[in-house]
Amino acid sequence: MTDQLTYAVVIPTIGRDALTDLVGGILAGPAPLPEEIVVVDDRRDPDPALRMPSTEACPTRVVASDGHGPAAARNRGWQSVSAEWVVFVDDDVQLPADWTRQVADDLRVLDRSIVASQARVHVPAPSGRPTDDQRRTLGLAGAQWITAEMAYRRSVLLEVGGFDPRFPRAYREDSDLGLRVSRAGHEIRSGERVVDHPIAPGGFLRSVKVQAGNADDALMRHKHGRNWRAATGAGPGRPGRHLLTVLAAVGAVAGAMSHRRRPAAVSVTVWGAAFLEFALRRIAPGPRTPREVASMLLTSALIPFAAITHRLRGEWQIRRSRGPRRPAAVLFDRDDTLIVDVPYLDDPDGVDLVPDAVEALSALRRNGIRTGIISNQSGVGRGLISTDALARVNARVSELLGPFNTWQVCPHAPDAGCSCRKPLPGMVRRAAEELGVPASECVVVGDIGADVEAARAAGADAILVPTNRTRPEEVSAAREHARVASSLVHAVDLIMGANR
């Protein structure tokens, strides 16, 4: 059970009109208020700038994510906060007046084994029979792991790498995260709090436009296997029937063009039966107004083609993005690579992260690449740092950057004659052995020549991320025998084949 609750609120937005009222409502709520509210502006053109209400008790920050979609926007938000819990709230959700008390009550009772708390989403039912578009929104009320309002421990976001930005829409990105968290052995629990999700006005062809999500289904299958729908509670879908409908239509056209009447007639019959089954299934539960029936007939003819086109696009994007073989593990130097170098650091409060360290590690972890640290700490051997102080500093690094799969530290003085101090390969080899992978399947990322030399001696790949203390000759040698990156994020781009 949490003794002192700290939580931050992250709101990805495209600038909806209700945003100001949403933030104002949170600020006006009862204690305990969030540690801060981070509004992530995901508009491609952030002009005019968003102006959000703020208080001294709960500051509000606006950060930009350049229109890369809600998954990337949420990552930008949670990576910028330090609270124990991160509560994601969509900008079109309506919160009760006492929501801050409700969310705190839900989170306080959770022990450390529970890493996420999902709100109960209520979708106000429309008067009369709902339309097809309204039924889609009503389905959110029972959706699993939906991030319309959901809280995650920041530690588990660090562990699994957060949201996968390859999901560009508000579709499947929350299911992907929930499934990865669940498969990592963690528990997600529903809370008692309830939030409202309004039904947005739909368009005549909206059901065709949302078929773009089939590309995301392809990514889900690639990441989680054929049974991903059952694992996420997504329902069976209709990819097989849509494919049959499209093939029948293509067969009818091909038969007509080649003057093969019988095959053309059979194909037309199959297409017609498939079309009618789909259209009637969608028309039956609806209001059956002339406009709704016309929309169902037209979109039922178009949806199979849109669905299959987007699914094929998604499969093609996955194949194109595979690139070179990815390593089994990435081993990082600690000082001046992941944290700012402070000579003989013995105080956990002095740990200061290098910019983009969280983002770089998250990209690796959400792609299943293990991470480790290999660090020379001669201050122990020199008598300048105690082993307990070093352990506390390293624990703070893990707290800020997430759990590493291996820690290798050389505590010896330079003249001790050990086999582990970089540029010797001992720590690289021990890390690979602990991870159960060949050293040749590891990449070492560091800021000086000793990191590159240790990697090469062990048979691992290496990437140098130079800093002000990196000597020019070390950069030149790395360009010849390894790779050089301008930042940690650039190093991860190189490791992932420039596709994260």
Q: Show pLDDT as tens, one digit a residue, over the chain (500 residues).
A: 345 899 999 999 999 989 999 999 999 999 999 999 999 999 999 889 999 999 999 999 999 998 999 999 999 999 999 999 999 999 999 999 999 999 999 999 999 999 999 999 999 988 889 999 899 899 888 889 999 999 999 999 999 999 999 999 999 999 999 999 999 999 999 999 999 999 877 788 999 999 999 999 999 999 999 999 999 999 888 999 999 999 999 999 999 999 999 999 999 999 999 999 999 999 999 899 999 999 999 999 999 999 999 999 999 999 887 767 889 999 999 999 999 999 999 999 999 999 999 999 999 999 999 999 999 999 999 999 999 999 999 999 999 999 999 999 999 999 999 999 999 999 999 999 999 999 999 999 999 999 999 999 999 999 999 999 999 999 999 999 999 999 999 999 999 885 44
Q: Which amino acid is at 86?
A: V
Radius of gyration for the alpha carbons in the chain, expressed in angstroms and rounded: 27
Q: Which of 335, 447, 451, 461 is catalytic?
A: 335
In this predicted structure, what is the pLDDT of residue 500? 42
Q: Which of 164, 333, 336, 447 is catalytic?
A: 333
Q: pTM value?
A: 0.90
In this predicted structure, what is the pLDDT of residue 325? 81
In this predicted structure, what is the pLDDT of residue 2? 42
Neighbours of 128 (CB within 10 A): 10
* CB contact at 8 A, 372 and 332: yes
Cα 374 to Cα 408: distance, rounded to the nearest angstrom: 5
Query: Which whole-number Å values give the CA distances from 35 to 27, 108, 149, 166, 309, in the listed order?
Result: 11, 15, 17, 29, 45
In this predicted structure, what is the pLDDT of residue 195? 97
In this predicted structure, what is the pLDDT of residue 499? 43
Long-range contacts of 232-238 (CB under 8 A, 24+ apart): 232/144, 232/145, 232/175, 232/178, 232/179, 233/143, 233/144, 234/175, 238/278, 238/307
Q: Using CA atoms of 434, 379, 461, 455 in order, give the dihedral in degrees to the nearest 10.
A: -90
Is residue 303 packed enough to be buried (19+ CB in 10 Å), middle (13-18) or exposed (0-12)?
buried
Q: Indicate if 335 belongs to the active site.
A: yes
In this predicted structure, what is the pLDDT of residue 3? 57
Q: Indicate if 132 belongs to the active site.
A: no
In this predicted structure, what is the pLDDT of residue 321? 78
* CB contact at 8 A, 76 and 40: yes
Query: Which whole-number Å values give the CA distances from 382 to 32, 344, 412, in the listed order?
Result: 47, 10, 8
